[in-house]
Amino acid sequence: MNTICHWEMQTVNPENAKKFYEPLFGWKLTHEKEMGYVMVETGGQPDGGMNVVGKIEPSATLFYVMVDDIEAILVRAEKLGGAIVTPKKPIPHVGHFGVLRDIEGNQVGLFTPLPR
């Protein structure tokens, strides 16, 4: 109990979000037009979604995606039109993190733990 069960972000253009996130993380995005919502299947838990909005509103909340290679994801994000906000940096005794900005301005954190 009390664990994260779903996450949400925003998109102005569901097709652009699909073109960015499907090749970046291998997620499956399905635009539910009648709901004004994009369902996001991550292949694990939690899955999430995207509210279709007229303008992206900045948020102080940041979620992190666990990845094997932060630098490779950051390079791929740039090739897909995104930007690097924070390059790969160490978290002493824990792992590494980085932050990217997607093509609509949403920020997404990346995390890789140290081997156990």
Nearest Cα neighbor of 38 from 12, 71, 61, 59 is: 12
Nearest Cα neighbor of 63 from 23, 97, 89 is: 97
For the chain, domain boundaries: 7-113
Give the CATH class of 7-113.
alpha beta
Per cent of the chain over pLDDT 90 is 90
pLDDT band at 60 (very low <50, low <70, confident <90, very high): confident
Q: What pTM, to 2 d.p., does this model score? A: 0.89
Record the tokens describing residue 27, joined without a space.
């997620």
- The pLDDT assigned to 58 comes to 85
pLDDT band at 116 (very low <50, low <70, confident <90, very high): confident
Residue 112 C-alpha from the chain's centroid: 14
- Is 98 in contact with 91 (CB distance < 8 Å)? no
Tens digits of residue pLDDT in 16-32: 999 999 999 999 999 99
Strands, sheet with 7-11, edge to edge from the N-terminal-most edge strand: 7-11, 48-52, 37-41, 28-32
On the question of pLDDT at 2 being above 90, the answer is no
- The pLDDT assigned to 26 comes to 97
Between CA 107 and CA 101 the distance in angstroms is 4
Record the tokens describing residue 32, joined without a space.
């539910």
